[in-house]
Structure formats: structure tokens, C-alpha cells
Amino acid sequence: MQTRTLGRSGLQVSAVGMGCMGLSHAFGPPTSRDEAIRVIWDAYDIGYRFFDTAEAYTGTNPDGSTSYNEELVGEALRPVRDEVVIATKCGVTITDRGLVADSRPATVRRSVDQSLARLGLDHIDLYYQHRQDPDTPVEEVAGVMGELIAEGKIGAWGLSEVGEDVVRRADATCPVTAVQNRYSMMARHYEPLFPVLEELDIALVAFSPFANGLLTGRYGKGEHYDPATDYRSRMPQFTDEGIDQNADLLALIATTAQEKSATPGQIALAWMLCKKPWIVPIPGTRKTDRLRENADAAEILLTGEEVAALDDALDHVAMSAVFGGSRLQGSGGGR
């Protein structure tokens, strides 16, 4: 697969990365350990060299035990450690009340040590603050990240779900390598940030590039998602009404796919890959054939005119609301 560089860090990654969250979190019961590791091995064999996880990505196995996504990623990739870039995140706990953010320096230090232990690694290539903690200034987070880089525990750091003010403040304290924001044909609200990322030489790692799967065109009415284990049960784009509202959007993508002898999912990825050379999408899947399909999207060429035409169409086509994340609460540990 083609490679891209993550900002000033010089980290070389595959043009499409693998989001590993869904193997054990948010999209149904966790995949079995053996199956999850096999899928990650398959991704490596296909050409993936960028793998994304987080301390918060957990699931409950049928026997009641906890499945830690970081453990799966670390075990699978340890034999090829020097050939891949592994990213993980800190600062968020998932509770019944929503997301609780805690990025106090002491918490970040404790989290990085716990992640290193679960991954079985001596350093983390890219370490994100998963969400902003309203009770901890980002300058404090940047400061501790700089210390962790100097100590060799992490190679670079990034932010997730942030805008210009936070990016500039963080980068002024310790240079930021990547911003991981929600970005897809249905979620374009971070595009005004692009000039800032370009100016500061910061990569955009795009999560949920398929709007949680909808843009692949493989979902219809009448689907059932277990509310206990599957976030799609509360995503507006997957309701029967949402499917109807998105009919024209999906038809637009399908028409472009037919013109390019591609799948709708490949067009959703190619659209952003061809927009900027510093965008790296990280779609998730549990299936090897989808891994191959997503990787092949990096070979699809959309001209600047074709991307602009799609942008214009997206500005005008009807679409439903799209899931934008769970409710966030602060740690209560600030001033």
C-alpha cells in the first residue's frame, strides 16, 4: 500500500490505517481473541502499517471477562513491531452516564504505563488525548506529553475531536503530530480546520470515515442492533427513517462508484485521500475482505475537479443527522 507521513514526526504509515476499536468495543460482542488477532495479522499481510486503539476500547466476553483492545493489538503486532505504527489514546473512561474525561498529568502518566503493559511494548508511537478534559488546560496535557516524549515512552502525540484554538495552544507547548477527528461525507464540520493543519504540518487521522458503516451502502431498513453492545442502536443514520433520508446520498456515492469501477466504501475513502495528502482514514472492520477493499481505495484516483463536484453535491443532497459521539463530562479535578 502507498504510504503517508504523519506531520513533523516523520512517522511513515500506510495510506489507509486500521481502526481496531470494533474488534472488542461498540459494534456488538467482542470478537474472540484468536479471531481478532487473525484479522490484525491479515491486515498486516495486506499492507496495513498503521493500527489505532485506545485504553477505553473494552468489551465484555461471553464468560463475563473484559476484552482489552490494546492487548489484542499488542499481541498481534509484537512480532512485526518495528514495521508498524501503533497509536493509542488516554483521557477517557466510558460509563453509563457517557464519557468521563480526565487528562490531569498524573492520570496521563498512569494511563501510559498501563497501556504500555497491555500492549507489551516499550514505547507507543503515537499517543492521543482521546477527548478534551474541560477541567484540565490543554497546555498541561501538552506539557506532560513533552515529558513522555523526552523519556522515550511515546514517540509523538496528538489530539482528538478538537478545533483551531485547542490545536494552536497545544502545538505551541509541544508540537502536535496528528489530530484524529470524526470526518466523512456526512460529517464535514472540521473542514475549516484544514488550513490550520496545513500551516502547522499536522496530519488529520479521520475516524468513522464511513459514518460508522452507513456509507458502504450495505445497510438497509429493519436492521437490529443490541443496545447493550452496539452503538448503532442509537445512531440516527441507522434508523429506518434515517435510511430513507439518506437514499439520495447513497445513490450519489453509488453512481460515482459505478463510474470508477469501485465500491461505495472505496469512494468514501478515495474522496478524502484525494483531497489532501496528509489525511489518513482509519476505517474499522472485522472482515478480511473488507480490509482488502479498504486498502484498494488508496489506488482510486479522483481528480481535483471530481472531488470538488462531490463536495458541491454533498452540500446540497439531503441526509439524516449522523452520530456525533457520546456525551462528555469533565473529571472534576480541575480548578
- Please indicate whether residue 57 is annotated as part of the active site: yes
**Which strand (E) or helix (H) includes residue 128?**
strand 124-129
By C-alpha distance, which of 61, 106, 64, 111 is closest to 88? 111
Asked if 260 and 267 count as a contact pair (C-beta separation under 8 A), the reply is yes
Secondary structure of residue 19 in the 3-state scheme: strand
Q: Is 179 helix (H, G, I), strand (E, B) or coil?
A: strand
Catalytic one of 44, 48, 57, 128: 57
Q: Which three cell numbers stand for residue 9?
A: 514526526
CA distance linking residue 71 with residue 106, whole number of Å: 23
Q: Which three cell numbers stand for residue 267?
A: 469512494
95 phi and psi angles, rounded to 5 deg: -125, 175
Query: Among residues 77, 16, 69, 93, which one has the least CA distance to residue 41?
Result: 77
CA 24, 25, 30, 31 torsion: positive or negative? negative
CA–CA gap between residue 287 and residue 92 (Å, rounded): 27
Q: Is 65 strand, coil or helix? A: coil
Active site residues: 57
